[in-house]
């Protein structure tokens, strides 16, 4: 998650930006999309259809301008784990930014560890003359 001050806009860009963004892309938005391409990330906020009030994440002091500049980025590998992403503009968080919430559902595989049992031959330890001379196990 982050405040990137980038506007990625409404248009879809490969598998990175979805069709449900807000506004038009700016230069910082272009840089963010290019960075996501390099790191194999997707911009989660843009993949879910929401009403406009659930898309904007920042409003100007006069409340005339509202932009989507805060995003949730995640690895392309976990794109199916993202269930929803939306902003909550009514939250009282003492900021001109609205908090962005995402819901995930992960299914992790259970790993099986092989347990190796090491069995010591105590009879050999007791019968070994070098060990007996040191008086360690007598």
pLDDT, averaged per 10 consecutive residues of the chain (138 residues), comes to 79 87 88 93 90 82 83 90 87 82 87 81 74 60
Q: Which two tokens stand for residue 19?
A: 């069709």
Is residue 137 helix, strand or coil? coil
pTM comes to: 0.69
CATH fold group of domain 2-109: Deoxyribonuclease I; Chain A (3.60.10)
The whole-number pLDDT of residue 40 equals 94
User: What is the pLDDT at residue 75?
Assistant: 93
pLDDT for position 2? 64
Which pLDDT score, from 0 to 100, does residue 135 have?
A: 58
Separation of alpha carbons 37 and 52, rounded Å: 26
Domain boundaries, the chain: 2-109
| Ramachandran area for residue 50 (φ above 0: left; ψ -120 to 50: alpha; else beta) | beta
């Amino acid at each position: 998650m982050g405040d990137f001050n980038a506007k990625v806009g409404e248009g879809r860009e490969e598998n990175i930006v979805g069709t449900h963004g807000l506004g038009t892309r700016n230069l910082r938005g272009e840089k963010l999309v290019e960075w996501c391409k390099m790191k194999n990330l997707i911009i989660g906020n843009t993949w879910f259809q929401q009403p406009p009030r659930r898309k904007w994440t920042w409003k100007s002091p006069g409340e005339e301008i509202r932009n989507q500049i805060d995003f949730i980025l995640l690895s392309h590998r976990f794109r199916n784990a993202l269930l929803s992403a939306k902003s909550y503009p009514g939250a009282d968080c003492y900021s001109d930014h609205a908090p962005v919430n995402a819901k995930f559902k992960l299914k992790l595989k259970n790993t099986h560890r092989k347990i190796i049992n090491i069995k010591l031959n105590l009879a050999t330890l007791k019968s070994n003359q070098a060990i007996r001379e040191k008086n360690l196990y007598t």
